[in-house]
Chains A and B, each alone.
Chain A
Amino acid sequence: MKKDEVPQDPSALDQFTREVYYVKNDKGQYEVALSRGWDVKKEALDSAWDEVNIRIEAARKAVAAGEASPIVYFMELKLMDLTVLSGYTGFWPFFIKRHMKPSVFGRMSDKKLARYAQAFEISLEELKNFKG
Chain B
Amino acid sequence: METDLESPAFQHVQAAHCENGVTTALLRHHGLDFMTEPLAFGMGSGLFYIQIPFLTVNNGPAISFRTMPGAIFKRTCKALGVPITHKKFSSEQKAQAFLDQKVQDNIPIGCQVGVFHLPYFPKEYRFHFNAHNLIVFGKEDGRFLVSDPVMEITTSLTEEELTKVRFAKGTFAPKGHIYYPERVGIVSDATIRKAVVKGIKRNVRDMLYIPGSVAGVDGIRHTSNQIRKWRNKLGLRKASLYLGQIVRMQEEIGTGGGGFRFLYGAFLEQAGAILHDDRVSQISEAFTLSGDLWRSSAIKMAGVYKGRLTEQQDFEEIADRLLEIREVEKEAFKRLQKLKLSY
Contact = CB atoms under 8 A, between A and B. Distances in A.
Given A43-B305, A80-B128, A16 B120 contact: yes
Given A1-B257, A79-B128, A48 B241 contact: yes
Contact of B152 (A18, A43, A55): A18
Nearest to B265: A30
Nearest to B254: A19
A17 B124 contact: no
Contacts of A65: none
Interface stretch (A20-28, A94-102, A107-115, A124-132): A20-28
Interface string A17-45: 11111111000011000100011110111
B265 A84 contact: no
Given A29-B269, A40-B247, A40-B298, A20 B125 contact: no
Contacts of B58: 48, 79
A88 B170 CA distance: 8
Contacts of A81: 128, 170
A41 B251 contact: yes
Which bucket holds chain A's interface residue count? 35 or more
B233 to A, nearest CB: 17
Interface stretch (B62-70, B206-214, B288-296): B288-296
B124 A87 contact: no
A58 interface: no
Which bucket holds chain B's interface residue count? 35 or more
Given A1-B291, A12-B122, A20-B256, A48 B245 contact: yes
A104 interface: no
B199 interface: no
Given A20-B16, A43-B302, A51 B241 contact: yes
B169 interface: yes
Contact of B15 (A20, A38, A80): A20
- Give the residue among A12, A19, A83 with the most B Cβ atoms within 10 A: A19
Nearest to B169: A87
Nearest to A30: B266
A24 B288 contact: yes
Contact of A17 (B152, B251, B269): B152
B151 interface: yes
Contacts of A83: 170-171
A41 B262 contact: no
- Give the residue among A23, A40, A80 with the most B Cβ atoms within 10 A: A40
A93 to B, nearest CB: 12
Interface in A68-102: 79-81, 83-84, 86-88
Interface string B266-301: 100100000000000000100010011001001101
A47 interface: yes
A16 B151 contact: yes
A45 B124 contact: yes
A21 B247 CA distance: 16
Contacts of A43: 244, 302, 305-306
B325 interface: no
A19 B169 contact: no
B241 A21 contact: no
Contacts of A41: 247-248, 251-252, 298
Given A13-B122, A16-B121, A87-B173, A1 B262 contact: yes
Interface of B: 14-16, 37-38, 58-60, 116, 120-128, 150-153, 169-171, 173, 240-241, 244-245, 247-248, 251-254, 256-258, 262-263, 265-266, 269, 284, 288, 291-292, 295, 298-299, 301-302, 305-306
7 contacts: A1-B291, A15-B122, A16-B120, A44-B251, A47-B240, A51-B59, A80-B128
